[in-house]
Chains A and B, each alone.
Chain A
């Protein structure tokens, strides 16, 4: 009984950490949603319904009727979740890999724009059978993403240019180049607004779910996640990335090629961001509008942080984020909660999820309280 308080410090810390680890997600979700519910109570006349729709709005519904048997409806909305989750997963991986090498690359945006642009240009202007053109489009996207990712890496290793600054600046260059090309050379004169022509039907990614844009990209996703994980955990480059990320000075002492690791990790991230761009151009939009908003890449940042830069966790984080976002949209659509409130609630949930420090503190507090109670109980006895 006495051990409860006299546990060695290390053991106590370990228990604390394990508990915090296990409680991290549920506590953060509950706290974020709880705060959201309080806000909804303030602004809505039917907060409970709005809250339930936020939680369940994105789900497909399973109905039973005697005539038609089991029926799955609202698949379109769940399709939107999956579409969104695919983009977010790719962007999340794109950010997570350089992060493991401790490179704060914010360049996913520019890589996405260039990837989409390169894939579209190849698809529009290269003749040939579809499988050749499509694979060349993908190659073009990957190559441009790799170059645009490796460039700030090289700038950093050669000229000590801070990668946060260079990636942000290169984003601007990429986005403006994209806008220039789309509004000039690639513009479809009959489009009615500034947009490229539609991709030929044979080059649009095949759709898996009717009425939605859930494409074969969904099937490629596990492969990409697995490859990223393999790259990080089972290859020499991955080992180097992780060592550089944990301590660049140590890696240098150990004779690892730190510079090469840095720019390769950023290039690898660029490839994944460019694939997200191709998912947008060939899967979702099928053509590129000039006003594709910059900032999609930063959502990848969020997903990567939620997943703690662990590739295998990225799809789950992306799915959860997409699920919440779509549920929030559904709530906006069918209740009196307005768009702004929806955005605030979304941000709160994310805030609680990312605020990791809070939970070890909470777990520690709870353990201390339990220990004190145990002590109190002993005194009483």
Chain B
């Protein structure tokens, strides 16, 4: 006992002394921070449960934040939570608790339970949940605005385009009778929404077309994406649609190396690779845009005007501009006029609601459609 105390007490004393010293330092550094001028009306922070650089979902969200910071009187910050889920909740709670921000944005279904809990615990904070909705019936979420995307509409259009291109043999270098492939990040409702929409669109254009589907079980594993894409191409896929975050970069790489084609997701990936990697860009037919950036800028500007409908989920699709197809690529720019008109007709059908693509949410039985 005595030995334990002799071991413990000096160390405890040293720790306390150190903490006291650091506390003094902390006060000094806080005072240093407060000198900054403040013209902003709203302080927004985007929490990313992963890292930037996926060239799709998270990068798009960060782009929206940057644009909001430039165009609106909003101070913005993007916080990367990293890939360790055990630290996400505490990091998000810290953002809500720190008092440095007025509004916290977070995306994906993973974050829903955390936002639900924090919304109740910090009723004066504001939250924006994108690409997922909190369960308003079962939480005190009067301070949360949710944004959902009807990505199946955009994917339907992309599937239609892909099948049409194969049918008309407009993609040079493909074997005869090539089929389609799809790579999903994980089997989640959001991803299924893409894949089901794409398959339905493809079959609408060509009922006999073959569509292979595989999930990579991860959004940050380009090597797995490349493997799956190579396997699908070996089985005859000429064009692969990927909805797999950073994993999808492997799909794009595999397709461009095999001189086949791919359709990207979330951000305009052709535009991203056009200058940096023209060979890879040539393989990208288009991208199903999920305009997370547009939605975020819109939400923040509404929040500035105190008009953001908290306590409610909004759903954005083709009609609202939340979803779309990237307009340019080497393939699309060569698209003959009659085909372009066919595509526009399908788009009009989707916007007017004459065509209802199948949804991945219906299958999962969640009431996420707000």
Contacts and interface: CB of A to CB of B under 8 A. Distances in A.
B86 A280 contact: yes
Given A74-B97, A77-B98, A316-B11, A84 B25 contact: no
Contacts of B364: 189-190, 192
B86 A334 contact: no
B83 interface: yes
Interface string B346-370: 0000000000000000001110100
Contacts of B28: 52
Nearest to A333: B79
A285 B79 contact: no
Interface residues of B, number: 54
A80 B91 contact: yes
A183 B217 contact: yes
Given A79-B90, A189-B364, A193-B186, A334 B33 contact: yes
Contact of A333 (B77, B90, B187): B77
A291 B218 contact: yes
A329 interface: yes
A83 interface: yes
Contacts of B302: none
Interface stretch (A53-61, A122-130, A164-172, A349-357): A53-61
A48 B97 contact: no
B89 A55 contact: no
A284 B25 contact: no
Contacts of A213: 89-90
Interface stretch (B15-23, B65-73, B165-173, B337-345): B15-23
B29 interface: yes
B116 to A, nearest CB: 11
B366 A59 contact: no
Interface residues of A, number: 50
B227 interface: no
A75 B121 CA distance: 14
Contacts of B38: none
Interface string A279-323: 010001100011111001000000000000000100010000000
Contacts of A84: 87
A316 B94 contact: no
B15 A77 contact: no
Interface string A156-196: 00000000000000000000000100010000011111110
A379 interface: no
A285 B99 CA distance: 24
B84 interface: yes
A190 B365 contact: yes
B273 interface: no
A193 B109 contact: yes
Contacts of A75: 97
Nearest to A288: B85
Contact of A189 (B11, B84, B99, B365): B365
A154 to B, nearest CB: 31
B170 to A, nearest CB: 37
Contacts of A15: none
Contacts of A211: 93, 97, 121
Nearest to B121: A211
A339 B110 contact: no
Given A74-B97, A77-B94, A190-B366, A56 B25 contact: yes
A290 B121 contact: no
A372 interface: no
Interface string B202-215: 00000000000000
Contact of B86 (A56, A285, A329): A285
Contact of A291 (B79, B85, B109): B85
A62 interface: yes
21 contacts: A52-B28, A52-B29, A52-B32, A56-B22, A56-B26, A59-B23, A61-B26, A74-B97, A75-B97, A76-B97, A77-B97, A77-B98, A84-B87, A179-B217, A183-B187, A192-B366, A192-B368, A194-B217, A212-B93, A285-B85, A293-B83
Given A80-B94, A333-B77, 17 more contacts: A52-B25, A55-B22, A77-B90, A183-B187, A192-B188, A194-B186, A285-B89, A289-B110, A290-B217, A291-B83, A291-B85, A291-B186, A291-B218, A292-B86, A316-B15, A339-B80, A339-B82
Interface of B: 4, 7, 11, 15, 19, 22-23, 25-30, 32-33, 45, 51, 77, 79-80, 82-87, 89-91, 93-95, 97-100, 108-110, 112-113, 121, 132, 186-190, 217-218, 364-366, 368
